[in-house]
Structure 1
Amino acid sequence: MVALPADLLKGVSGPPDGTYRTYNPFMHAENEAGAPLGRLLRQLRQSRRLTIEELAEASGVSGRAIGDMERGRSRRPHRGTLTALAQGLRLDEATHSLLVTAARTARAEATARSGPAVASPFTLPRGLRDFVGRADELEALRALAAQATEQAPPRTWTARSATLPTAVVSGPPGSGKTALAVRLAEQLAPSFPDGCFLLDLRGLDAQPLSAEQAALRLLTSWGVPDAELARHTAEEHLARYYELAAERRVAVVLDNAATEAQVRPLLPREGRSLVVVTSRRTLAGLEGVHRVELGMLTDAESASLLRAVLGARRVDTEPEAVRSVIDSCGRLPLALRVAANWAATRTNWSLGRLAGRLADEERRLDALSAGDLRVNSAFALSYSKLAPGAALMFRLLSLAHGTDIGLEQAAVLRQTSPTAAEDLLEELVESGLLLPSRDGRYRLHDLLRLYAASRNRAEDGAEDSRAARARARSWLLDSAVRAGGWFGPDGAAAPGPSPDRLLTLDSRERALRWIKEESDNWLAAFRDAAEVGEHAKVAEVAEALNTFSENWVSWGHWPEIYERAAAAGAALGDATLQATHLNHLSWAYWACERRQADAVAASTRALALATAAADPVQQAWSHDHLGWLRIVDDDWSGAADEFRRATELFAEADHLTGFLQASGGVIPVAWKAGRPEEALTAYRGVMDVLDDPLTRDRVSRDERDITALIASYHVSYVYLDEGRWREAADLLASLRGQLDARGSYWQAGKVYLHLAHALTHLGRHQEAAAEYRGLLAMTEHIPAAVLAEARTHLDALNAGEPSPPTRFPL
C-alpha cells in the first residue's frame, strides 16, 4: 500500500476563486540521507555486524532514534545519547571522540541552515523576583530531580525498574502552584541543558488540551517539524514524544491539569527528564508520583512575602497590622501579593490603615473564594484605587478571548491605541491584578478573571459588554482572514494593511507567526462566533485558513474548524457551501486524525449535496477526495474511476487547476490498476493543457512546472513497465536535476537509476555506466536501497554480465 503523506493530500480542497495547488501523494521530499554523522554511525554499526535493533538493545537508545540519525533526520543528538551508543558499539576513546565531533559538526550545520532560533512559546516564563517560602517543598522536589540527573545510562529508567521522577503539586487556587514549579525549574535549569518548558493544560476550560495536543505542542517546541508530525498518527506522536523525552534532559511543567487521563499519557517512560504537574485536584489516580500538597503559607512565610514586597523596615514596625493583613488574606499567596503590591505603591499609608480596609467585610464579594477562604478583599482594595481607565481595562479583560492576551486585543476591547493599552496593562501589573506573560503579553489569574467578571457585571451594562466582546471577536477573526490571505494559491495577492492599523501582516512569515501565536485566541473567538450564530463569518474564516492548514497539519483543531464550518453552511441553507466545507473536513479527518471512514463519509455527503445543488466543482473535489481515500485501501481501480469522473466534472466546469490535479492523479493510479492506456491518455491531456496558448495564462509558471514534472515522472513508469525504453530514456533525461533541485531526493534517485536501466536496455552501456557512477557519487542524499541497486547493475555492466532483472515499484 502506498502511504499518503498527510501534508500532500490537501489538494482535494481549495478556495472558491477556482485556483488550487497541485499535490500528489507519490511525490514527497525525503530527508537528506547519509550526512557525515549518519554515515559514520552506520559504518560503525555495520563494522560490528549489528542490526539497528541489536544496537538499540545494546545501547538503550531506541531503534527509531538510531535510524533517524543514520538517515540524517536527527542532526542534534545529545551527548548522553552518543555515550550510550558508544557503549553499545564498544568504541575506544578515539572513535568515541570522532563520533562526538561528527555530531557537533552536524548540530552546527543544522543550526546554520535553520537560521536564527525562534523562541518556543512554551519556554519557562519569568519567575517571581520576590518568591519566598515553600522551603520544605522545594527541597523535596530538588531531591526528586536529583534522581533524574544522577542516574547514568538513560536505559536504566524503565516502567518496570523505576518510576521516572514526576511530581504532582496540588492545592487551592492562588496557593502558588505554578510559581513553585517555575521557581524549581529556574533553580534546576543548569541540570537540564535541553531546556525548561511550561505548558498550560487549560484544565479549567470547557475544552482542556488533550494529551495528544499537549504532546504535539511540546514536540513542536522541541524542534520537530510540522511536516514530520503530519505524517504520523496520534499513537506515533506520543511514541515520538516518549522517544525525545528519553533522549533529552528537560524539565517540563504541565500546568493546570484537569484529570489523570489528561496527564497520564504525558509522563515519559524512560530518560533523565523531570516532569512537574500542577493541579487544583490531587490527581490521586496517578501512580508512582511524588506528591506535594500546598496549603496556605505559615505566618512566618506570609510575613516574609510582605517583607519581600514592602521591605523589612516597614513590615517589622507594625507587627499587629501585619498579623491582621495576613488573617484577612487567609495566608493565600495570591491575595497577600495583591495586597502587598497595593501597599507598595502607597508609601504614605501605614499597614494599620491597610489592615483596616481589608477587614471591611462589606468590600468582599461572597461569590469569590478559594476553597472556603474569601480572598476578594485584597482584590477589591487594589481595584478600588485604580484610575478609571485602568479599572475599565481590568473589567474588559474578563471578556477577552483566550487566556494569553496581546496588546492588540486589549486595545480593541478598550477602543484605544496599543501604546495607551500597554500603559493601562502595566498599571494593572504594578497593582498585582495582572500577570506579565511571554513576549509582551499578559494573563489574568483565574481568581482575578472571576473578580474582573464580577465587577464587569456590576458596573458595565450588558449591552456594552456584549459590544466589547463582539468587537474583540470580530477583530480576531478578521485578522485571521487577513493572515490566511498570505497562503492563498496566488502568493502575490497579499492582504493590505488592516483598517485599524493595529496589526502589521506584511509577509508570510509574520502571518504564519500571528496565526500560531494567537491560535488559542482566534480559536476561542471562532467558537464564540459559532455559538452566537455568526455562520457567514465562521465559513469565511474556515475558508481563508484552508490553504494555510497545510502548513500546520499537526495543530489538532482543523476537524473542529471544518465541522463548525460545514454546520454553518447547513444553517445558512447553502448546500454548495456545506459541501465545500465537508470536502475540507474530509481532508482534516484523514490528514490530522487518520479517520478514514469519517473522511469517506464526509466526502460522500459532500458529493450528494453538490449533486443536488448541481455544482460540478464540488462534485469533482468529492470524487478527487474519494480517489485518494481509495488508494489507502489499495483499491487502484476504484481510485482510477474516481479520478476519471473528477476530470470530467472539472472539464465541464472549465476548472483548469482542478482538472490538472485530478488528471495527474489518474496517471499513477490507472497504471497501478493495470490500465496503462488510460494513464497515457491522462498524461497527454495534462501536457496538452499546459502547452495550449489559450490556457497558459491561467496557470502560474510554478504550477505549470511542478504539474509537468509530476506527470512526467509518473508516466515514466508506464514506459518502463511496457519496455518502451527509448521513450523512457528521453523522458527521464529531460527530468534529470529537476527533482533533486526541489529536495525530492528519493524520486530524483529513481530518475537517475531508471534512466541508466533504460540506456542499458538500449545497448548504450557507456552512457548507462556513467549514469550509475554519477548516482553513486550522490551518497549524501540518495537512499541506500537505490544506491545498492545502482551498484549491483554497474558491477554487472563492468563484468560484461547480463543486467539483473529490474522491477519498477512506484
Structure 2
Amino acid sequence: MGVTPVPVGEALTRLLRALEVNPRTMDYDLGKRSSQLRMLLRERRCLLVLDDAGDEAQVRQLLPDTGAGMVIVTSRRSLGGLEGIIRIGLPPLSEAESEGLLEAIAGSAPEAELSAVAAMCGNLPLALRIAGTRLASRPGWTMGHLAQRLADADRRLANLATGDVSLAAAFGLSYNRLHQQGKTIFRRLAHVPGPDFAVPIAAVLTATGSTLSDEDVYAAEDLLDELVDLGLLLADGADGFRFHDLLRLFAADRLRHEELVDTRTSTEHRMHDWLLETAIVAGRWFEPGFGAPPKTWRGLVSLDTEEHANAWLQAESDNWFAAFRAAAAAGRDQLVVDVAEAMHWDSDRSIDWPHWPEIYYSSRAAAARLPDRRQEITHLNYASWAASVCERRHAEGAALAMQAYHLADELGDLTEQANAMYYVAVAWRGAGEYAEAVPAYRRAQELCDAADNHDMYVQSCTGGAIALRRSGQTEEAIDAFHLVLRAIDERPLAPAPARVAKVVALANMIAALADAGRWRETVELAVVSLPESEEFGALSLIGLVHIALGKAHGAVEAVDLARDHLRRALRLCEEGWSHAESITEAQRVLADLDAR
C-alpha cells in the first residue's frame, strides 16, 4: 500500500523489464510504450497482477488487448470507468475463515476467545493478521488477553497495529485521497447512532446553510457514492448505507481529531432535531386531527402517503430513537412529549418493538414536569399501555391508568376519563381479569359517548369484544365484533383509529369464529382480511389469523394446509411476536395434527 500511486510510465518500465526488454529499446512516448507491452503480452501466456491500483488512468495503459494472458487488478476503488472486466467485490471473511486465519498465525485457542477476537476485528483480513501477529510476538499473552485489549472500542484501532503495519494507517490512505468535502462527510457520519442510514441524514450533517434543500441531498448523494467507490462505506440495499464497524471507529477518531467540540455538538444537535421533526411529521399521519404533512412543511424525505411515513419510521427507527433518547437526557420535555404523542397510533403496528416502554416512560416523566395537566394524563395512559401491553406488567399498567383516571376526574375531563378507563380495562384484560375488564370497557364506552369521542369508542368496543372472547363467551364476542364493524361504518372516525379498529376486530373475530367451530365462516373471513392484517404489519394479528386458519383446515382434514398456517404463526415468534397464550395454542394444535 502506497501513499502515492506508481506513475504509469514507471509501471510500464517495470513490466517491460520483467519481460526482459532492454531499457534502450523502450519508447519514451507512453502510448508507444503501452503498445510495446501489449504486443509482448499478446505472444505470451502469463498472469499480470496489478495490486493496489489508484484509479482507471493508472491501469488502462497496462492492460493487454488480446492473447492467452489474464490480469488481476486489486484496488480500494471499484474502477467503474474500466470496461470489459469482471468485478469481484471482496466481503469480510466468514467467521470460520477468520478464526482459521487467527489460528494459522497465532496458534490454537478456545473457540469463544477466537470468535470474540474475530468479531472485534470485523472479520477483515488485515485486522486479523495484525491481531494474530501481535499475539504470536508476545508469548505471555493468550487470545483472551488480546480480546480484552480489543474490547475497548476507543482503543481498538490503536491496538490493531504491529511494527510498521497499522489498520488505521491503511484506512488513512483511502481517507487522504478524499477532497475536503469527502473527508467532512466521512467523519461526520460517525454521528449517526444507528447501524445504517439514508442520504437525507448525510445531507443534514454536511449542509452549510440554515435551511435544507434538495440540492443538499444531491450533493450528499455524490459524496456518499465516492465513499462507496473508495471502500470507506458500504451500500446497503437500493437507498441505504452503512459503515463497517472498524471504519466507523476510524471515522469517529477523525471526527475527534479534526473538528472542534462546538462544531461536533452543533452538528449532532442539527441531526437530532431533523430526525425528531421528521419523526413527528411521519407519526402524525396516523394521529387523529393531523394526517398528511402541512403544505408548508419542506422535508428531505417523501412523507406523502401513510406507507411512506411508516416505512421511514421503521427504516430510521434506530436513528430517531437515539435522537429521542438524547432529547430526554437533555431535559427537552416538550419535544419528548411531542414525539411520543406522534407515535401513539403508529405504535399499534409494532407492539413488539422493544423501545416503546422507554419512550412512554420518558414522556410520562417529561409531561409531569410541564404545566399542562392534560398532557400528564395522556402520557400516564401511554405509560400504562407500555407497562401492560409491551411488558406484561399488568398491575403496574392498571395502577398508572387509575392514576390518570383520578387526575382526569379532578379536572372534570370526560375524554381523558374515558381514555384512562380504557387503559385500565386493557391492563385487566392482559392480566386475565375478564370479570373486571368487560365492565371497565363498557364504562369507557359510556364515557366516550358522553364526550363524543368516537375514535376511542370503537377502540373500547373492540377491547370489550376481545375480553368476551378470552373469557369464553364466544358467541357474545362474535356479536360484539359485528357491532364494532357497524360502528366503524356509522361513526365519524379519523382514518387511523378506524383502520386500527377494523384490522384488530377482524383478526379477533376470525379467532372467535374458529373458537366456535364455525369453520366455513372462519376461512371465508380470513381469506378476505389476512392481506389487510399483513399490510397493517402487527405480528400478533397476523398470527391470530394463521392460527384460526390452521384450526379450521385441520378440522376439515386439510392437514397439510393446516400445518402450513400454524408453522407460519410460529415463525412470527422469530420476528418478535411474543404472545405466550396464542403461541401455546398454535403448538398444541400442530402437535395434535402431527399425532394423527
Q: Same fold by TM-score, threshold 0.5 exceeded?
A: yes
- Structure 2 residue aligned with 1:332: 166
User: What's the CA shift for 1:643?
Assistant: 1.4
User: What's the CA shift for 1:559?
Assistant: 0.8
- Structure 2 residue aligned with 1:620: 418
The share of aligned pairs that are identical, in percent, is 27
| Counterpart code for 1:418 | V
Please give the secondary structure, in 2, of the residue aligned with 1:553.
Answer: coil
- Summarize the Cα distance change of 1:620–1:522 in structure 2 as closer, same or farther, 3 Å threshold: same
Contact 2:113 2:147 in 1 (8 A): no
2:283 and 2:402 map into 1 onto residues whose CA distance is 27
- Summarize the Cα distance change of 1:417–1:280 in structure 2 as closer, same or farther, 3 Å threshold: farther
User: What's the CA shift for 1:446?
Assistant: 2.4
Please give the secondary structure, in 2, of the residue aligned with 1:742.
Answer: helix
Please give the secondary structure, in 2, of the residue aligned with 1:419.
Answer: helix
2:159 and 2:523 map into 1 onto residues whose CA distance is 70
Contact 1:477 1:541 in 2 (8 A): yes
From 353, 358, 363, the counterpart of 1:555: 353
Please give the secondary structure, in 2, of the residue aligned with 1:554.
Answer: coil
- Summarize the Cα distance change of 1:696–1:582 in structure 2 as closer, same or farther, 3 Å threshold: closer
From 131, 139, 143, the counterpart of 2:104: 139
- Summarize the Cα distance change of 1:402–1:709 in structure 2 as closer, same or farther, 3 Å threshold: closer
- Structure 2 residue aligned with 1:179: 124
From 249, 253, 256, the counterpart of 1:453: 256
The yes-or-no answer on 1:657 pairing with 2:455 is yes
1:532 and 1:565 map into 2 onto residues whose CA distance is 13
For residues 222-260 of structure 1, the C-alpha deviation after alignment (integer angstroms, 9 at most, x for no partner) is xxxxxxxxxxxxxxxxxxxxxxxxxxxxxxxxxxxxxxx
The structure carrying a bigger helix percent of its residues is 2
The yes-or-no answer on 1:742 pairing with 2:522 is no
From 377, 382, 396, the counterpart of 1:598: 396
- Structure 2 residue aligned with 1:417: 216
Greater shift after overlay, 501-510 or 449-458? 501-510
| Counterpart code for 1:456 | E
| Counterpart code for 2:361 | E
The yes-or-no answer on 1:776 pairing with 2:556 is yes
1:514 and 1:594 map into 2 onto residues whose CA distance is 28
User: What's the CA shift for 1:671?
Assistant: 8.3
- Summarize the Cα distance change of 1:417–1:282 in structure 2 as closer, same or farther, 3 Å threshold: closer
Q: Which has the higher contact order (CA 8 A, sep 6+)?
A: 1
2:305 and 2:107 map into 1 onto residues whose CA distance is 45
Contact 1:486 1:495 in 2 (8 A): yes
Normalised by the size of structure 1, how large is the TM-score?
Answer: 0.43
- Summarize the Cα distance change of 1:782–1:410 in structure 2 as closer, same or farther, 3 Å threshold: closer
| Counterpart code for 1:615 | D
Please give the secondary structure, in 1, of the residue aligned with 2:114.
Answer: strand
Contact 1:169 1:294 in 2 (8 A): no
For residues 73-120 of structure 1, the C-alpha deviation after alignment (integer angstroms, 9 at most, x for no partner) is xxxxxxxxxxxxxxxxxxxxxxxxxxxxxxxxxxxxxxxxxxxxxxxx
Contact 2:392 2:430 in 1 (8 A): no
From 252, 256, 275, the counterpart of 1:476: 275
* Equivalence map 1:516-531=2 (5 Å): 516-531=314-329
1:686 and 1:296 map into 2 onto residues whose CA distance is 63
User: What's the CA shift for 1:650?
Assistant: 0.9
2:402 and 2:233 map into 1 onto residues whose CA distance is 49
Please give the secondary structure, in 1, of the residue aligned with 2:359.
Answer: helix
Normalised by the size of structure 2, how large is the TM-score?
Answer: 0.56
- Summarize the Cα distance change of 1:588–1:139 in structure 2 as closer, same or farther, 3 Å threshold: farther
For residues 33-74 of structure 1, the C-alpha deviation after alignment (integer angstroms, 9 at most, x for no partner) is xxxxxxxxxxxxxxxxxxxxxxxxxxxxxxxxxxxxxxxxxx
- Structure 2 residue aligned with 1:579: 377
* Equivalence map 1:585-734=2 (5 Å): 585-667=383-465, 669=467, 689=487, 695=491
1:781 and 1:690 map into 2 onto residues whose CA distance is 33
Contact 1:590 1:596 in 2 (8 A): yes
- Structure 1 residue aligned with 2:56: none
- Structure 2 residue aligned with 1:319: none
Contact 1:397 1:452 in 2 (8 A): no
1:736 and 1:426 map into 2 onto residues whose CA distance is 50
1:499 and 1:390 map into 2 onto residues whose CA distance is 29
2:306 and 2:370 map into 1 onto residues whose CA distance is 32
- Summarize the Cα distance change of 1:141–1:738 in structure 2 as closer, same or farther, 3 Å threshold: farther
Please give the secondary structure, in 2, of the residue aligned with 1:556.
Answer: coil
| RMSD across aligned positions (CA) | 5.3
* Equivalence map 1:109-188=2 (5 Å): 126-127=91-92, 137=102, 139=104, 167-170=114-117, 176=121, 178-180=123-125
- Summarize the Cα distance change of 1:553–1:674 in structure 2 as closer, same or farther, 3 Å threshold: closer
Contact 1:404 1:441 in 2 (8 A): yes
| Counterpart code for 2:203 | A
User: What's the CA shift for 1:653?
Assistant: 1.0
For residues 716-752 of structure 1, the C-alpha deviation after alignment (integer angstroms, 9 at most, x for no partner) is 999x9xxxxxxx99xx9988822453343655788x8
2:478 and 2:307 map into 1 onto residues whose CA distance is 40
Contact 1:566 1:581 in 2 (8 A): yes
* Equivalence map 1:195-594=2 (5 Å): 281=149, 298-299=162-163, 326=164, 331-335=165-169, 337-341=170-174, 382=176, 387-390=179-182, 392-393=184-185, 396-397=188-189, 399-402=191-194, 404-415=196-207, 417-425=216-224, 434-436=232-234, 438-439=236-237, 440-443=240-243, 445-457=248-260, 462=262, 466-487=265-286, 493-495=291-293, 499-500=297-298, 502-594=300-392
For residues 2-45 of structure 1, the C-alpha deviation after alignment (integer angstroms, 9 at most, x for no partner) is xxxxxxxxxxxxxxxxxxxxxxxxxxxxxxxxxxxxxxxxxxxx
- Summarize the Cα distance change of 1:741–1:637 in structure 2 as closer, same or farther, 3 Å threshold: same
For residues 436-462 of structure 1, the C-alpha deviation after alignment (integer angstroms, 9 at most, x for no partner) is 46345254532541441343217xxx3
- Structure 2 residue aligned with 1:303: none
Instruction: Tell me the number of residue pairs that the alignment of Structure 1 and Structure 2 aligns.
Output: 429
- Summarize the Cα distance change of 1:428–1:667 in structure 2 as closer, same or farther, 3 Å threshold: closer
| Counterpart code for 2:248 | H
2:526 and 2:402 map into 1 onto residues whose CA distance is 35
| Counterpart code for 2:124 | A
Gaps spanning 5+ residues in structure 1: where? 1-123, 145-162, 185-275, 285-292, 300-325, 343-381, 721-727, 754-773, 787-810
User: What's the CA shift for 1:668?
Assistant: 6.2
| Counterpart code for 1:556 | P
For residues 376-433 of structure 1, the C-alpha deviation after alignment (integer angstroms, 9 at most, x for no partner) is xxxxxx4xx865544554564455454645421121122162232244456667889x
2:312 and 2:145 map into 1 onto residues whose CA distance is 29
1:710 and 1:427 map into 2 onto residues whose CA distance is 48
- Structure 1 residue aligned with 2:575: none
- Summarize the Cα distance change of 1:783–1:635 in structure 2 as closer, same or farther, 3 Å threshold: farther
Contact 1:435 1:445 in 2 (8 A): no
1:283 and 1:455 map into 2 onto residues whose CA distance is 25
- Structure 1 residue aligned with 2:25: none
Contact 2:280 2:343 in 1 (8 A): yes
2:307 and 2:342 map into 1 onto residues whose CA distance is 17
User: What's the CA shift for 1:493?
Assistant: 4.5
For residues 459-505 of structure 1, the C-alpha deviation after alignment (integer angstroms, 9 at most, x for no partner) is xxx3x655433322222112223333455579x95547895553234
| Counterpart code for 1:410 | A
